[in-house]
Structure 1
Amino acid sequence: MSALLSPSAQRTIVRRTRGRGHGPITRLMSPGDLGQVLKPFVFLDLFQGESSFAGGMPIHPHSGLATVTVVTEGDFRFDDAVSGEGELAYGGVEWMRSGGGVWHGKELSPGQSPRIAGFQLWLALPPELENGPVDSQYIEAKAMPASGPVTVILGEYAGLRSPVRAPEGVHYLLVTLQPGQA
Protein backbone atom coordinates (compact mmCIF):
# COMPACT_ATOMS: atom_id res chain seq x y z
CA MET A 1 0.00 0.00 0.00
CA SER A 2 1.27 3.44 -0.89
CA ALA A 3 2.21 5.69 2.00
CA LEU A 4 0.61 8.60 0.14
CA LEU A 5 -2.86 7.16 -0.48
CA SER A 6 -5.44 6.01 2.01
CA PRO A 7 -7.02 2.60 1.30
CA SER A 8 -10.21 4.30 0.08
CA ALA A 9 -8.24 6.47 -2.38
CA GLN A 10 -6.39 3.56 -4.00
CA ARG A 11 -7.66 2.27 -7.32
CA THR A 12 -7.33 -1.14 -8.85
CA ILE A 13 -5.57 -1.67 -12.15
CA VAL A 14 -8.22 -2.06 -14.83
CA ARG A 15 -6.00 -3.08 -17.72
CA ARG A 16 -2.34 -3.72 -18.50
CA THR A 17 -0.82 -3.98 -21.91
CA ARG A 18 2.57 -4.50 -23.45
CA GLY A 19 1.18 -2.92 -26.62
CA ARG A 20 1.92 -3.83 -30.20
CA GLY A 21 5.38 -3.09 -31.49
CA HIS A 22 6.57 -1.98 -34.88
CA GLY A 23 10.29 -1.24 -34.92
CA PRO A 24 11.18 1.38 -32.32
CA ILE A 25 7.50 2.28 -31.70
CA THR A 26 5.09 0.36 -29.45
CA ARG A 27 1.42 1.35 -29.60
CA LEU A 28 0.16 1.12 -25.99
CA MET A 29 -3.36 2.42 -26.61
CA SER A 30 -5.54 2.79 -29.70
CA PRO A 31 -9.22 3.49 -30.53
CA GLY A 32 -9.91 -0.25 -30.64
CA ASP A 33 -9.15 -0.63 -26.92
CA LEU A 34 -8.81 2.07 -24.27
CA GLY A 35 -8.99 4.89 -26.83
CA GLN A 36 -12.79 4.49 -26.90
CA VAL A 37 -12.95 5.02 -23.13
CA LEU A 38 -10.29 7.69 -22.71
CA LYS A 39 -11.33 10.25 -25.32
CA PRO A 40 -9.95 12.73 -26.29
CA PHE A 41 -6.86 10.48 -26.05
CA VAL A 42 -6.68 8.43 -29.25
CA PHE A 43 -3.26 6.73 -29.38
CA LEU A 44 -0.42 6.41 -26.90
CA ASP A 45 2.90 5.34 -28.37
CA LEU A 46 6.13 4.45 -26.60
CA PHE A 47 9.23 5.03 -28.71
CA GLN A 48 12.67 3.78 -27.79
CA GLY A 49 15.79 2.87 -29.67
CA GLU A 50 18.83 4.19 -31.44
CA SER A 51 18.62 7.95 -31.78
CA SER A 52 19.17 7.68 -35.54
CA PHE A 53 15.52 6.65 -35.99
CA ALA A 54 14.53 10.28 -35.25
CA GLY A 55 16.01 11.41 -38.55
CA GLY A 56 14.48 8.52 -40.46
CA MET A 57 10.84 9.52 -40.08
CA PRO A 58 9.41 10.11 -43.55
CA ILE A 59 7.33 13.20 -44.23
CA HIS A 60 3.69 12.28 -43.63
CA PRO A 61 0.30 14.02 -43.24
CA HIS A 62 -1.94 14.57 -40.23
CA SER A 63 -5.30 16.33 -39.94
CA GLY A 64 -7.94 16.90 -37.29
CA LEU A 65 -5.78 15.83 -34.33
CA ALA A 66 -2.87 16.86 -32.17
CA THR A 67 0.21 15.02 -30.96
CA VAL A 68 2.31 15.72 -27.91
CA THR A 69 5.73 14.08 -27.77
CA VAL A 70 7.58 13.88 -24.43
CA VAL A 71 11.24 12.86 -24.20
CA THR A 72 12.11 10.49 -21.32
CA GLU A 73 15.62 9.41 -22.36
CA GLY A 74 18.27 11.00 -24.54
CA ASP A 75 17.66 14.07 -26.67
CA PHE A 76 16.45 15.33 -30.05
CA ARG A 77 17.36 18.38 -32.04
CA PHE A 78 14.48 20.36 -33.53
CA ASP A 79 14.55 22.74 -36.45
CA ASP A 80 11.27 24.32 -37.49
CA ALA A 81 10.86 27.31 -39.81
CA VAL A 82 8.26 28.90 -37.50
CA SER A 83 9.27 27.70 -34.02
CA GLY A 84 13.07 27.96 -34.33
CA GLU A 85 15.68 25.41 -33.33
CA GLY A 86 16.95 23.83 -30.13
CA GLU A 87 17.15 20.66 -28.10
CA LEU A 88 14.50 18.50 -26.47
CA ALA A 89 15.91 16.39 -23.62
CA TYR A 90 14.22 14.69 -20.64
CA GLY A 91 10.89 16.44 -20.05
CA GLY A 92 11.07 18.44 -23.30
CA VAL A 93 7.88 18.58 -25.38
CA GLU A 94 6.91 18.79 -29.04
CA TRP A 95 3.28 19.88 -29.60
CA MET A 96 1.74 19.62 -33.06
CA ARG A 97 -1.88 20.54 -33.74
CA SER A 98 -2.60 19.47 -37.30
CA GLY A 99 -5.97 21.21 -37.64
CA GLY A 100 -7.07 21.20 -41.29
CA GLY A 101 -3.91 19.41 -42.37
CA VAL A 102 -0.14 19.46 -42.16
CA TRP A 103 2.78 17.54 -43.64
CA HIS A 104 5.56 16.92 -41.16
CA GLY A 105 8.32 14.48 -40.25
CA LYS A 106 11.66 16.21 -40.75
CA GLU A 107 11.52 18.66 -37.82
CA LEU A 108 13.32 16.31 -35.40
CA SER A 109 16.79 14.86 -35.78
CA PRO A 110 19.13 12.90 -33.51
CA GLY A 111 20.77 14.80 -30.68
CA GLN A 112 23.95 13.87 -28.79
CA SER A 113 22.62 10.73 -27.10
CA PRO A 114 23.03 7.34 -28.76
CA ARG A 115 19.56 6.26 -27.54
CA ILE A 116 16.21 8.02 -27.22
CA ALA A 117 12.91 7.16 -25.58
CA GLY A 118 9.63 8.85 -24.82
CA PHE A 119 5.91 8.90 -25.36
CA GLN A 120 3.72 10.34 -28.07
CA LEU A 121 0.10 10.97 -27.16
CA TRP A 122 -2.41 11.56 -29.97
CA LEU A 123 -5.44 13.70 -29.13
CA ALA A 124 -8.78 14.15 -30.89
CA LEU A 125 -9.35 17.87 -31.31
CA PRO A 126 -12.62 19.56 -30.36
CA PRO A 127 -14.83 20.32 -33.41
CA GLU A 128 -13.87 24.01 -33.51
CA LEU A 129 -10.16 23.07 -33.90
CA GLU A 130 -10.43 20.01 -36.19
CA ASN A 131 -10.16 22.13 -39.33
CA GLY A 132 -8.43 25.08 -37.67
CA PRO A 133 -4.92 26.41 -38.17
CA VAL A 134 -1.79 24.34 -37.64
CA ASP A 135 0.12 25.05 -34.41
CA SER A 136 3.53 23.67 -33.44
CA GLN A 137 5.58 24.24 -30.31
CA TYR A 138 8.92 22.88 -29.18
CA ILE A 139 9.42 23.51 -25.47
CA GLU A 140 12.69 22.69 -23.79
CA ALA A 141 12.53 20.91 -20.44
CA LYS A 142 13.68 23.94 -18.44
CA ALA A 143 10.55 25.82 -19.59
CA MET A 144 8.13 23.09 -18.45
CA PRO A 145 6.60 23.77 -15.00
CA ALA A 146 7.23 21.17 -12.30
CA SER A 147 6.18 20.54 -8.71
CA GLY A 148 8.19 17.84 -6.95
CA PRO A 149 8.20 14.72 -9.13
CA VAL A 150 5.46 16.07 -11.45
CA THR A 151 6.10 17.96 -14.71
CA VAL A 152 2.98 19.53 -16.20
CA ILE A 153 2.94 18.54 -19.89
CA LEU A 154 -0.64 19.64 -20.72
CA GLY A 155 -3.18 21.52 -18.63
CA GLU A 156 -2.70 22.37 -14.98
CA TYR A 157 -1.52 20.78 -11.74
CA ALA A 158 -0.82 22.19 -8.26
CA GLY A 159 -1.34 25.76 -9.45
CA LEU A 160 1.08 25.35 -12.37
CA ARG A 161 0.03 25.67 -16.00
CA SER A 162 1.72 24.12 -19.02
CA PRO A 163 2.87 26.54 -21.75
CA VAL A 164 1.55 24.10 -24.39
CA ARG A 165 -1.38 25.61 -26.31
CA ALA A 166 -3.59 22.53 -25.86
CA PRO A 167 -7.40 22.62 -25.68
CA GLU A 168 -8.83 23.41 -22.24
CA GLY A 169 -9.67 20.49 -19.96
CA VAL A 170 -6.86 18.18 -21.11
CA HIS A 171 -4.29 17.32 -18.42
CA TYR A 172 -1.17 15.20 -19.00
CA LEU A 173 1.60 14.82 -16.44
CA LEU A 174 5.09 13.33 -16.47
CA VAL A 175 5.74 11.82 -13.05
CA THR A 176 9.35 10.95 -12.24
CA LEU A 177 9.77 8.76 -9.17
CA GLN A 178 13.08 7.76 -7.64
CA PRO A 179 13.67 4.04 -6.91
CA GLY A 180 11.50 3.04 -3.95
CA GLN A 181 9.49 6.28 -4.03
CA ALA A 182 5.71 5.86 -3.99
Structure 2
Amino acid sequence: MERAMPAETRPPGVVPAEPATVLLPGHDVPLGRYTTVRRLLPQRTRRMVGAWCFVDHFGPDDVGDRTRPGMQVPPHPHTGLQTVTWLLDGEILHRDSLGNVQHIRPGQLNVMTSGHGIAHSEKSPATRPPVMHGVQLWVALPDPARSGPADFRHHAELPRWRERDLTVTLLVGELSGVRSPAVAHTPLLGAQLEPESAGPVRLPLRRDFEYGVLVMSGAAEVDGVHLTPGALLYVAPGRTSLTVGQGAGARLLLLGGAPFEEPLVMWWNFVGRSHEELVAATEDWAAGRRFGVVADDPDPPLPAPALPTVRLKARDRHGQVFG
Protein backbone atom coordinates (compact mmCIF):
# COMPACT_ATOMS: atom_id res chain seq x y z
CA MET A 1 0.00 0.00 0.00
CA GLU A 2 1.30 3.46 -0.84
CA ARG A 3 2.78 5.30 2.11
CA ALA A 4 2.52 9.07 1.98
CA MET A 5 2.31 12.02 4.31
CA PRO A 6 -1.37 12.54 5.26
CA ALA A 7 -2.95 15.08 2.93
CA GLU A 8 -4.04 17.33 5.79
CA THR A 9 -0.47 17.81 7.09
CA ARG A 10 1.43 17.99 3.83
CA PRO A 11 2.93 21.47 3.34
CA PRO A 12 1.10 23.52 0.66
CA GLY A 13 2.52 22.98 -2.81
CA VAL A 14 4.44 19.83 -1.84
CA VAL A 15 3.62 16.98 -4.24
CA PRO A 16 4.62 13.43 -3.27
CA ALA A 17 7.05 11.59 -5.49
CA GLU A 18 5.38 9.34 -8.06
CA PRO A 19 6.25 5.67 -7.44
CA ALA A 20 6.46 3.66 -10.66
CA THR A 21 3.59 1.36 -9.58
CA VAL A 22 1.37 1.20 -6.50
CA LEU A 23 -1.06 -1.58 -5.58
CA LEU A 24 -4.18 -0.03 -4.08
CA PRO A 25 -6.59 -2.38 -2.26
CA GLY A 26 -10.29 -1.58 -2.64
CA HIS A 27 -13.01 -1.73 0.00
CA ASP A 28 -16.62 -2.89 0.04
CA VAL A 29 -19.40 -0.29 -0.10
CA PRO A 30 -23.18 -0.93 -0.08
CA LEU A 31 -24.95 0.42 -3.17
CA GLY A 32 -28.66 0.64 -2.46
CA ARG A 33 -30.28 -2.17 -0.47
CA TYR A 34 -29.20 -5.17 -2.52
CA THR A 35 -25.78 -4.55 -4.09
CA THR A 36 -22.28 -4.30 -2.61
CA VAL A 37 -19.46 -2.91 -4.75
CA ARG A 38 -15.68 -2.94 -4.44
CA ARG A 39 -14.61 0.72 -4.51
CA LEU A 40 -11.16 1.19 -6.04
CA LEU A 41 -11.18 4.98 -6.54
CA PRO A 42 -11.02 7.47 -4.95
CA GLN A 43 -8.52 6.54 -2.26
CA ARG A 44 -6.79 8.70 0.32
CA THR A 45 -3.44 8.97 -1.45
CA ARG A 46 -4.56 8.30 -5.01
CA ARG A 47 -7.70 10.18 -5.91
CA MET A 48 -7.71 9.76 -9.70
CA VAL A 49 -6.25 8.08 -12.77
CA GLY A 50 -6.34 10.72 -15.47
CA ALA A 51 -9.86 12.14 -15.26
CA TRP A 52 -11.22 8.81 -13.92
CA CYS A 53 -12.26 9.82 -10.41
CA PHE A 54 -14.48 6.93 -9.30
CA VAL A 55 -14.23 3.17 -9.94
CA ASP A 56 -16.72 0.60 -8.59
CA HIS A 57 -16.51 -3.10 -9.47
CA PHE A 58 -19.65 -5.12 -8.68
CA GLY A 59 -20.40 -8.84 -8.85
CA PRO A 60 -20.51 -11.45 -10.04
CA ASP A 61 -23.81 -11.55 -8.11
CA ASP A 62 -26.60 -14.12 -8.28
CA VAL A 63 -29.74 -12.18 -9.26
CA GLY A 64 -31.69 -15.12 -10.66
CA ASP A 65 -34.74 -15.08 -8.37
CA ARG A 66 -37.06 -12.59 -6.69
CA THR A 67 -35.19 -12.74 -3.39
CA ARG A 68 -32.14 -11.30 -5.17
CA PRO A 69 -33.43 -8.31 -7.15
CA GLY A 70 -29.98 -7.16 -8.24
CA MET A 71 -29.23 -3.49 -8.78
CA GLN A 72 -32.05 -1.24 -7.61
CA VAL A 73 -30.83 2.37 -7.52
CA PRO A 74 -33.75 4.85 -7.59
CA PRO A 75 -33.61 8.27 -9.30
CA HIS A 76 -30.64 10.32 -8.11
CA PRO A 77 -28.74 13.37 -9.42
CA HIS A 78 -25.28 13.99 -10.88
CA THR A 79 -23.34 17.09 -11.79
CA GLY A 80 -19.79 17.75 -13.03
CA LEU A 81 -19.09 14.23 -14.29
CA GLN A 82 -19.66 11.46 -16.82
CA THR A 83 -20.88 8.02 -15.78
CA VAL A 84 -19.50 5.09 -17.79
CA THR A 85 -21.21 1.70 -17.35
CA TRP A 86 -19.67 -1.56 -18.60
CA LEU A 87 -21.12 -5.04 -18.03
CA LEU A 88 -19.43 -8.42 -18.21
CA ASP A 89 -22.62 -10.31 -17.36
CA GLY A 90 -26.28 -9.44 -16.88
CA GLU A 91 -28.46 -6.50 -17.84
CA ILE A 92 -29.27 -3.08 -16.38
CA LEU A 93 -32.07 -0.69 -17.32
CA HIS A 94 -31.04 2.97 -17.44
CA ARG A 95 -33.62 5.76 -17.25
CA ASP A 96 -32.82 9.48 -17.13
CA SER A 97 -34.32 12.93 -16.99
CA LEU A 98 -33.62 13.54 -20.69
CA GLY A 99 -36.26 10.90 -21.45
CA ASN A 100 -33.86 8.06 -22.31
CA VAL A 101 -34.86 4.50 -21.41
CA GLN A 102 -32.06 2.12 -22.37
CA HIS A 103 -31.14 -1.49 -21.58
CA ILE A 104 -27.41 -2.19 -21.41
CA ARG A 105 -25.95 -5.66 -21.94
CA PRO A 106 -22.41 -7.11 -22.04
CA GLY A 107 -20.30 -5.67 -24.84
CA GLN A 108 -22.30 -2.42 -24.88
CA LEU A 109 -21.41 0.92 -23.30
CA ASN A 110 -23.53 3.60 -21.63
CA VAL A 111 -21.97 7.07 -21.28
CA MET A 112 -24.01 9.73 -19.50
CA THR A 113 -22.65 13.28 -19.36
CA SER A 114 -24.20 15.20 -16.48
CA GLY A 115 -22.97 18.65 -17.44
CA HIS A 116 -24.67 21.12 -15.08
CA GLY A 117 -27.16 18.50 -13.94
CA ILE A 118 -29.00 15.27 -14.80
CA ALA A 119 -30.89 12.57 -12.88
CA HIS A 120 -31.05 8.86 -13.65
CA SER A 121 -31.89 5.45 -12.19
CA GLU A 122 -30.18 2.08 -12.70
CA LYS A 123 -32.05 -1.15 -12.09
CA SER A 124 -31.93 -4.82 -12.91
CA PRO A 125 -35.04 -5.49 -15.04
CA ALA A 126 -37.71 -7.93 -13.84
CA THR A 127 -36.73 -10.41 -16.57
CA ARG A 128 -32.96 -10.67 -16.51
CA PRO A 129 -29.99 -13.03 -16.77
CA PRO A 130 -29.11 -14.86 -13.53
CA VAL A 131 -25.73 -13.16 -12.99
CA MET A 132 -24.83 -9.45 -12.76
CA HIS A 133 -21.20 -8.35 -13.07
CA GLY A 134 -19.61 -5.10 -14.23
CA VAL A 135 -18.07 -1.74 -13.43
CA GLN A 136 -19.43 1.74 -12.86
CA LEU A 137 -16.97 4.56 -13.54
CA TRP A 138 -17.01 8.34 -13.20
CA VAL A 139 -15.00 10.82 -15.26
CA ALA A 140 -14.45 14.34 -13.91
CA LEU A 141 -15.50 16.95 -16.45
CA PRO A 142 -13.31 20.00 -17.17
CA ASP A 143 -14.56 23.48 -17.98
CA PRO A 144 -16.66 24.23 -19.96
CA ALA A 145 -18.19 20.71 -20.22
CA ARG A 146 -18.99 20.54 -16.51
CA SER A 147 -21.34 23.51 -16.78
CA GLY A 148 -22.70 22.54 -20.21
CA PRO A 149 -25.79 20.57 -21.27
CA ALA A 150 -26.47 16.99 -20.20
CA ASP A 151 -26.19 14.14 -22.70
CA PHE A 152 -26.60 10.37 -22.92
CA ARG A 153 -25.13 7.95 -25.49
CA HIS A 154 -25.54 4.19 -25.85
CA HIS A 155 -22.88 2.38 -27.89
CA ALA A 156 -24.17 -1.02 -28.99
CA GLU A 157 -20.90 -1.82 -30.81
CA LEU A 158 -17.33 -0.95 -29.87
CA PRO A 159 -13.95 -1.53 -31.55
CA ARG A 160 -12.63 -5.01 -30.76
CA TRP A 161 -9.45 -6.59 -32.08
CA ARG A 162 -6.60 -8.93 -31.28
CA GLU A 163 -3.32 -7.32 -30.16
CA ARG A 164 -0.70 -10.07 -30.14
CA ASP A 165 -2.17 -12.54 -27.58
CA LEU A 166 -4.65 -10.03 -26.13
CA THR A 167 -8.21 -9.42 -27.26
CA VAL A 168 -8.87 -5.70 -26.77
CA THR A 169 -12.27 -4.00 -26.52
CA LEU A 170 -11.92 -0.22 -26.63
CA LEU A 171 -14.42 1.60 -24.42
CA VAL A 172 -13.10 5.17 -24.45
CA GLY A 173 -10.24 7.02 -26.11
CA GLU A 174 -7.58 5.69 -28.48
CA LEU A 175 -5.27 2.69 -28.38
CA SER A 176 -2.94 1.30 -31.06
CA GLY A 177 -4.35 3.75 -33.61
CA VAL A 178 -7.97 2.71 -32.97
CA ARG A 179 -10.48 5.24 -31.59
CA SER A 180 -13.67 4.65 -29.62
CA PRO A 181 -16.91 6.41 -30.68
CA ALA A 182 -17.53 7.44 -27.05
CA VAL A 183 -17.16 11.16 -26.33
CA ALA A 184 -14.36 12.14 -23.94
CA HIS A 185 -13.65 15.71 -22.79
CA THR A 186 -10.03 15.09 -21.68
CA PRO A 187 -7.28 12.78 -23.04
CA LEU A 188 -8.61 9.45 -21.75
CA LEU A 189 -8.42 5.67 -22.23
CA GLY A 190 -10.63 2.79 -21.15
CA ALA A 191 -10.16 -0.74 -22.54
CA GLN A 192 -11.00 -4.33 -21.63
CA LEU A 193 -8.09 -6.74 -22.05
CA GLU A 194 -8.55 -10.50 -22.39
CA PRO A 195 -5.27 -12.48 -22.43
CA GLU A 196 -5.47 -15.54 -24.65
CA SER A 197 -2.30 -17.24 -23.37
CA ALA A 198 -0.08 -17.33 -20.31
CA GLY A 199 1.88 -14.47 -21.90
CA PRO A 200 3.77 -12.34 -21.49
CA VAL A 201 2.22 -9.72 -23.80
CA ARG A 202 3.55 -6.17 -24.06
CA LEU A 203 0.94 -3.43 -24.58
CA PRO A 204 1.95 0.07 -25.80
CA LEU A 205 1.32 3.02 -23.47
CA ARG A 206 1.45 6.80 -23.83
CA ARG A 207 4.32 8.29 -21.88
CA ASP A 208 2.24 11.32 -20.79
CA PHE A 209 -0.61 9.19 -19.38
CA GLU A 210 -0.99 7.63 -15.97
CA TYR A 211 -2.78 4.27 -15.81
CA GLY A 212 -4.75 1.96 -13.57
CA VAL A 213 -5.27 -1.77 -14.10
CA LEU A 214 -7.84 -3.93 -12.33
CA VAL A 215 -8.77 -7.56 -12.81
CA MET A 216 -12.53 -8.00 -13.16
CA SER A 217 -12.43 -11.82 -13.37
CA GLY A 218 -9.72 -14.43 -13.10
CA ALA A 219 -6.14 -13.48 -12.25
CA ALA A 220 -3.18 -12.01 -14.11
CA GLU A 221 0.35 -10.78 -13.63
CA VAL A 222 0.84 -7.16 -14.66
CA ASP A 223 4.39 -5.83 -14.62
CA GLY A 224 5.30 -8.63 -12.22
CA VAL A 225 2.44 -7.86 -9.79
CA HIS A 226 -0.11 -10.64 -9.22
CA LEU A 227 -3.61 -9.17 -9.57
CA THR A 228 -6.96 -10.60 -8.55
CA PRO A 229 -10.34 -8.82 -8.21
CA GLY A 230 -10.39 -6.27 -5.41
CA ALA A 231 -7.30 -4.13 -6.07
CA LEU A 232 -6.14 -1.47 -8.54
CA LEU A 233 -2.57 -1.28 -9.84
CA TYR A 234 -1.57 2.35 -10.39
CA VAL A 235 1.08 3.02 -13.05
CA ALA A 236 2.71 6.47 -13.02
CA PRO A 237 3.39 8.57 -16.15
CA GLY A 238 6.59 7.97 -18.07
CA ARG A 239 5.97 4.40 -19.23
CA THR A 240 5.79 3.35 -22.89
CA SER A 241 4.58 -0.24 -22.38
CA LEU A 242 2.91 -2.60 -19.93
CA THR A 243 3.51 -6.35 -19.64
CA VAL A 244 0.57 -8.69 -19.03
CA GLY A 245 1.26 -12.33 -18.24
CA GLN A 246 -0.15 -15.44 -16.55
CA GLY A 247 -3.65 -14.22 -17.34
CA ALA A 248 -5.24 -16.65 -19.76
CA GLY A 249 -9.02 -16.46 -19.34
CA ALA A 250 -8.90 -13.29 -17.22
CA ARG A 251 -10.68 -10.04 -18.02
CA LEU A 252 -8.85 -6.85 -17.11
CA LEU A 253 -9.82 -3.19 -17.28
CA LEU A 254 -7.12 -0.71 -18.34
CA LEU A 255 -7.85 2.92 -17.46
CA GLY A 256 -5.62 5.82 -18.40
CA GLY A 257 -5.43 9.51 -19.07
CA ALA A 258 -3.44 12.71 -18.86
CA PRO A 259 -3.11 13.67 -15.17
CA PHE A 260 -6.10 15.84 -14.19
CA GLU A 261 -4.58 18.81 -12.41
CA GLU A 262 -7.69 20.68 -11.23
CA PRO A 263 -8.52 20.16 -7.54
CA LEU A 264 -11.97 18.63 -7.05
CA VAL A 265 -14.61 18.47 -4.36
CA MET A 266 -16.48 15.15 -4.46
CA TRP A 267 -19.50 14.49 -2.27
CA TRP A 268 -22.41 12.08 -2.69
CA ASN A 269 -23.19 12.11 -6.45
CA PHE A 270 -21.61 15.47 -7.23
CA VAL A 271 -18.20 16.56 -8.52
CA GLY A 272 -17.42 20.27 -8.21
CA ARG A 273 -14.72 22.79 -7.45
CA SER A 274 -16.00 24.34 -4.21
CA HIS A 275 -18.12 23.71 -1.13
CA GLU A 276 -20.62 26.28 -2.37
CA GLU A 277 -21.17 24.39 -5.65
CA LEU A 278 -22.07 21.20 -3.82
CA VAL A 279 -24.36 22.99 -1.38
CA ALA A 280 -26.19 24.57 -4.34
CA ALA A 281 -26.52 21.19 -6.07
CA THR A 282 -27.91 19.60 -2.91
CA GLU A 283 -30.42 22.40 -2.42
CA ASP A 284 -31.51 22.26 -6.08
CA TRP A 285 -32.09 18.50 -5.86
CA ALA A 286 -34.16 18.86 -2.68
CA ALA A 287 -36.21 21.66 -4.28
CA GLY A 288 -36.80 19.79 -7.55
CA ARG A 289 -34.72 22.24 -9.57
CA ARG A 290 -32.06 21.75 -12.25
CA PHE A 291 -31.98 17.93 -12.53
CA GLY A 292 -35.37 17.14 -14.05
CA VAL A 293 -37.55 14.05 -13.57
CA VAL A 294 -36.44 10.53 -14.50
CA ALA A 295 -38.57 9.06 -17.29
CA ASP A 296 -41.02 6.27 -16.44
CA ASP A 297 -39.54 5.42 -13.03
CA PRO A 298 -42.22 4.88 -10.35
CA ASP A 299 -39.83 5.02 -7.39
CA PRO A 300 -39.42 8.23 -5.37
CA PRO A 301 -36.09 10.04 -5.82
CA LEU A 302 -33.29 9.37 -3.37
CA PRO A 303 -32.98 12.18 -0.82
CA ALA A 304 -29.53 13.67 -0.44
CA PRO A 305 -27.76 12.82 2.81
CA ALA A 306 -27.11 15.62 5.26
CA LEU A 307 -24.15 17.76 4.28
CA PRO A 308 -21.06 17.43 6.49
CA THR A 309 -20.88 19.88 9.38
CA VAL A 310 -17.42 20.97 8.23
CA ARG A 311 -16.60 22.80 5.04
CA LEU A 312 -15.87 20.52 2.09
CA LYS A 313 -12.40 21.23 0.70
CA ALA A 314 -11.02 20.61 -2.76
CA ARG A 315 -8.31 17.97 -3.15
CA ASP A 316 -5.87 17.36 -5.97
CA ARG A 317 -5.25 13.94 -7.53
CA HIS A 318 -2.72 13.10 -4.77
CA GLY A 319 -5.19 13.92 -1.99
CA GLN A 320 -3.59 17.24 -1.07
CA VAL A 321 -6.13 19.70 0.38
CA PHE A 322 -6.70 23.16 -1.12
CA GLY A 323 -8.59 26.05 0.44
Query: Does residue 123 of the first structure (1) align with residue 135 of the second (2)?
Result: no
Tell me the CA shift for residue 24 of structure 1: 2.2
Relative distance call for 1:113 and 1:27 in structure 2 (3 A) is same
Q: Secondary structure at the match of 1:91?
A: coil
Query: Does residue 144 of the first structure (1) align with residue 155 of the second (2)?
Result: no
CA distance in 1, matches of 2:45, 2:152: 28
What amino acid is aligned across from residue 25 of structure 2 in structure 1?
T
Relative distance call for 1:58 and 1:33 in structure 2 (3 A) is farther
Tell me the CA shift for residue 113 of structure 1: 1.1
What amino acid is aligned across from residue 41 of structure 1 in structure 2?
W
* Residue in 1 that maps onto 2:308: none
Q: Cα deviation per residue 1:144-169 (whole Å; 9 max; x = unaligned)?
A: 00121111100111222111112141
Unaligned runs of 5+ in 2: 1-18, 64-68, 200-244, 246-323
Tell me the CA shift for residue 77 of structure 1: 4.3
Relative distance call for 1:130 and 1:78 in structure 2 (3 A) is closer
What amino acid is aligned across from residue 146 of structure 1 in structure 2?
R
CA distance in 2, matches of 1:150, 1:96: 23
Tell me the CA shift for residue 84 of structure 1: 5.7
Q: Cα deviation per residue 1:24-74 (whole Å; 9 max; x = unaligned)?
A: 2221111533225x24111110112244323x1111000011111111122
Q: Secondary structure at the match of 2:124?
A: strand
* Residue in 1 that maps onto 2:178: 160
CA distance in 2, matches of 1:135, 1:74: 24
Q: Secondary structure at the match of 1:152?
A: strand
Q: Secondary structure at the match of 2:22?
A: coil
Of the structure 1 ranges 15-24 and 149-158, higher mean CA displacement relative to structure 2 is found in 15-24
RMSD, matched Cα: 2.5
**Runs ≥4 in structure 1, deviation > 6 angstroms?**
none
Q: How does 1:36-51 map to 2 (within 5 A)?
A: 36=48, 38-48=49-59, 49-51=61-63
CA contact (8 A) 1:61 1:102 kept: yes
Of the structure 1 ranges 122-131 and 157-166, higher mean CA displacement relative to structure 2 is found in 157-166
* Residue in 2 that maps onto 1:7: none
Relative distance call for 1:16 and 1:32 in structure 2 (3 A) is closer
Q: Cα deviation per residue 1:119-162 (whole Å; 9 max; x = unaligned)?
A: 1111110111011111111222xx10012111110011122211
Of the structure 1 ranges 92-101 and 169-178, higher mean CA displacement relative to structure 2 is found in 169-178
- Bigger CA radius of gyration: 2
Q: Secondary structure at the match of 1:25?
A: strand
Tell me the CA shift for residue 79 of structure 1: 5.8
Relative distance call for 1:161 and 1:76 in structure 2 (3 A) is same
Tell me the CA shift for residue 115 of structure 1: 1.4
CA distance in 1, matches of 2:62, 2:175: 33
CA distance in 1, matches of 2:196, 2:45: 31
Query: Does residue 177 of the first structure (1) align with residue 177 of the second (2)?
Result: no
Relative distance call for 1:72 and 1:12 in structure 2 (3 A) is farther
Tell me the CA shift for residue 172 of structure 1: 0.9
Query: Does residue 73 of the first structure (1) align with residue 81 of the second (2)?
Result: no
* Pick aligned residue for 1:58 from 74, 97, 111: 74
What amino acid is aligned across from residue 169 of structure 1 in structure 2?
P
CA distance in 1, matches of 2:43, 2:22: 17
Relative distance call for 1:78 and 1:102 in structure 2 (3 A) is closer
What amino acid is aligned across from residue 135 of structure 2 in structure 1?
F
CA contact (8 A) 1:58 1:105 kept: yes
- Count of residue pairs brought into register by the alignment: 166
* Residue in 1 that maps onto 2:46: 34
What amino acid is aligned across from residue 70 of structure 1 in structure 2?
W
Unaligned runs of 5+ in 1: 1-10
Relative distance call for 1:28 and 1:112 in structure 2 (3 A) is same
User: Please, what TM-score do these two structures have when normalized by structure 2?
Assistant: 0.46
* Pick aligned residue for 2:124 from 109, 115, 122: 109
* Residue in 2 that maps onto 1:6: none
Percent identity reads 28
